[in-house]
Amino acid sequence: MVPERCRSRPRFAASTEARAAAVTTETVDHLEDAANAGECDLDLSVEQMFKGFRTKPRAPQLLVAERALRACGYEPKPIDSGGASDANSFEAAGLACTNLADGTERNHEPGERISAQALESLLEVAIALVDEAAAELGPLQGGQGE
């Protein structure tokens, strides 16, 4: 038995737009070749959901994150993930965002997990982020929060 339709929604993320375009083109070519070999019709729709972004080394949100990490005993190590996250959507909406590693093990695999110790450390970092962001903003105006 052969189904009448098959729907696939692959998503690609890459560190550059050129790489994302190349992977997308290669995938479309393979799908077209497979459909032709199976004498099937293929209807494709390709859509760019968002663009990648790079945070400037002196961006305020990055400096706050680096201070928070150091306050918790971690030395920040910038990396180019080449992936996608909610940060892409936030950046596209004009909200400055920085991703921090959270201790997840085996990302995007069936055994993906985060240990209890990593969660506790993540809470410590989150509290330090709030403290550092508050210090960055300074005292509230108009007597609020005093």
Q: How far apart are CA 83 and CA 92, in angstroms?
A: 15
Confidence of residue 11 (pLDDT cuts 50, 70, 90): confident
Burial 88-104 (b: 16+ CB within 10 A, else e): bebbeeeeebbeeeeee
The answer, yes or no, to whether residue 136 has pLDDT greater than 90, is no
CB 102 within 8 A of CB 85: no
The DSSP secondary-structure symbol of 60 reads H
The answer, yes or no, to whether residue 145 has pLDDT greater than 70, is no
Close Cβ partners of 60 (under 8 Å, ≥ 6 residues apart): 96, 136
Cα distance from N-terminal residue to C-terminal residue, the chain: 71
